[in-house]
Chain A
Amino acid sequence: MNAYLLIIIPLAGAVLAALWPHKDTRPLFLPAVGLVHSLLCLALLVKPTAVDPAAWLAFDPLARAILPGVSLLFLICACYAVSYLRLKEQDNRVFVPALLLVLGLLSAGHQARHLGILWIATEAVTLACVPLIHFNGTPRSFEATWKYLLVGGTGIALSLLGSICLGYASLHGGGSGDITFTALLAQGPGLSRVWVLTAWVLLLVGYGTKMGLAPMHTWKPDAYGESPGIVGALLAGGVTSVAFMALLRIKSVVHAAGAGAVADRTLLAIGLFSALIAALFLLRTRDFKRMLAYSSVEHMGILCIASSLGPPGVWAALFHVWSNGLTKGALFLSAGNLQAAANSSSIDEVRGMSKVLPRSSLLLVAGMFAITACPPFGPFFSELLIVRTALAAGQGWAVALFLVCLLLAFFGLSRIVLSVVDGRPRRKKTNAAPFRESAGLILPPLLLLVASLWLGLFTPDLLKGAWSAAVLQLFPTP
């Protein structure tokens, strides 16, 4: 029942927000719904309920390991959105309901235990994000939206084809063609191997597009660069995690079918490739919002590398989903402040922001160090764990390449962030109302950074237990 509430409350909130007549008070729906959602998630995290194995939607251990983090990210972003939307003249009659819709559909995607439901939820999230991406209404934002729709739509179509192939693997292996994960896992080695491998390739490409793995990442810099910072935070921390969750669930089926080694190898290869491509583009880009998109591509690659390393790797990957989501959120929100004040996100036009917006600049620099895995923030500990797991698994070369990518990414990120923060501010041509760093715009990214710090220094036993339970669900001991 609670599992359904997590979906129904945001959807009902979206309907109410769409009907609400006042522009100024409508954004308050976001923190209100976010708070209820987070409390419900927390209650379910502390006191997990038994899961009916046949249920299509349930708060199972895997959902329990990731969804609370997404919910926390949404709550903090929602508080930011209230102050952010106050600055904007545009009507938010579509923006606020779409954000709530995204939350509800994300909850559905995380809890989906049926390949078809999973696909429907992911596709619906993709569509619900469209009005968020072109919220600024500039021609560039429509261009970004079009590319997002075309690339994302094709990717998601391929994942539907992959889901069908997995169903056919069941039929061909003598099963019923039931595509709930429970039934597929139960059939295990009985699945037809050829069709499982076909399905794996299509699903990896399909959900990999949604995650933003190279070379299917091309929509990401455009969409993240042109959308408001809060949307980037939710896309990078929430939407990508649904696709990652989908890949984890599918990988466990491929494992059960006896093709786990193939799946692990492809995940490792595509993960390393994504990290490398992202690191190289980070050295080249001249836009600090697009920089964050490439950093997200890099971290999606890291998640794939980690999840190719067996049960301890998946545990580290779940840890990294949390630390990456929270840290990336802080970066997107503080970068959003800088962009709003300077009215640009290119390093050719934005300089000396430490004089204009000292607090946001400080947060951006701190976030940059956090995401490039400097201790003692969350990403340092999760990436350290991934490196140790990889070394224990005998993947020395992969670790070496991975570390090179991290170093290049650090060069790229620090180059851009420091050139934006340092120097003399450019004179503004127009004397528009100066951007004020109100508490509502500073506290949310600060909170996210503190959460990342807390996650690194004092990883709660509750979360460790939740991640272990999720690993146990994916790799049931024979």
Chain B
Amino acid sequence: MNDTLNLLIGLAMGLNLLALGTSRLPVLIRTVAAQGVLLGLLPLVLEAHALDWRLVLITLATVAGKGLLIPYLLIRAMRSANIARELEPFIGYIPSLLLGAGGTIAAVALTRYLPLLPEHTGNLHVPGAMALILTGFILLIGRTKAISQVCGYLILENGIYLAGLLLISSTPILVEFGILLDVTVGVFVIGIIVDRIQRAFDSLDTRKLTALHE
């Protein structure tokens, strides 16, 4: 079980670096989607000994939501805003890559000192979650285009989802489903706002949102 788990989470952590290093928004959106699908498959690996229809259902819903619906909404927002690149990030691509890589290494190294249950040590579950949360924050802070920031938010959410899988045997499916629903609706709402910002400011550069201050 640990091998498949490490493979999926390791791939997701690799996608972090791709997300940090790219300036092209379609690549960023698809990276986040691929990461969502990889993580969406994890419940099947973690609970391989006790598969039932509810688990399969929630897996399907997660994969469809994170892999199809959310990227579809984001790509549509991107097309309507008519932009494909993030040109002037706050934190450049090389510095964000270095930060992300350093953070990932630190996450793996630090996990040893965390008080964890024996079944959660020795694999990439906890360090993966920490690395994803960190990457999400770097994108949220370091990018200026609204869509890149949303992608950062989604990677952050992926990391929290991964952390949530630590509780998979005790959290009821209904709760997981509610969380997924909220995130999807959230992205839908964000898509609408992004569209309105584009119309009102003729740009998706959040640095232009400076009318409100003291």
Contacts and interface: CB of A to CB of B under 8 A. Distances in A.
B115 A164 contact: no
A192 B212 CA distance: 44
A388 interface: no
A120 B160 contact: no
B164 A225 contact: no
Given A134-B196, A160-B164, A149 B190 contact: yes
Interface residues of A, number: 48
Interface in A126-141: 127, 130, 134, 138-140
Nearest to A116: B175
A142 B212 contact: no
A142 B160 contact: no
A147 interface: yes
A398 interface: no
A164 B160 contact: yes
A117 interface: yes
Nearest to B196: A142
Contacts, number: 115
A123 B206 contact: no
Nearest to A193: B115
Interface stretch (A65-73, A81-89, A173-181): A173-181
Interface residues of B, number: 38
A153 B153 contact: yes
A149 B167 CA distance: 28
Contacts of B185: 124, 127
A116 B133 CA distance: 19
Interface string A180-196: 00000000000010110
Nearest to B182: A123
Contact of B164 (A153, A164, A176): A164
B5 interface: no
B104 interface: no
Given A119-B179, A154-B156, A167 B212 contact: no
Given A146-B209, A154-B153, A157-B156, A284 B214 contact: yes
A445 interface: no
B37 interface: no
A153 B186 CA distance: 9
Given A177-B171, A226-B212, A171 B166 contact: yes
A149 B164 contact: no
A221 interface: yes
Contacts of B200: 138-139, 142
Interface of chain B: mostly helix, strand, loop or mixed: helix
Contacts of B166: 164, 167-168, 171
Interface in B160-205: 160, 163-164, 166-167, 169-172, 175, 178-179, 181-182, 185-186, 189-190, 193, 196-197, 200-201
Given A153-B153, A281-B214, A171 B196 contact: no
B116 interface: yes
A130 B178 CA distance: 19
A157 B153 contact: yes
Contacts of A146: 146, 193, 197, 206, 209
Nearest to A143: B209
Interface string B35-55: 000000000000000000000
Query: Which 3 A-B pairs rank lowest in CB-CB distance, beginning with the nearest?
Result: A177-B170, A116-B175, A139-B200
16 contacts: A139-B201, A143-B209, A145-B196, A150-B140, A150-B149, A154-B156, A160-B164, A161-B133, A164-B166, A164-B167, A168-B167, A171-B117, A179-B171, A195-B115, A284-B214, A286-B214
Interface of A: 114, 116-117, 119-120, 123-124, 127, 130, 134, 138-140, 142-147, 149-150, 153-154, 157, 160-161, 164, 167-168, 170-172, 176-179, 192, 194-195, 221-222, 225-226, 281, 284-286, 290
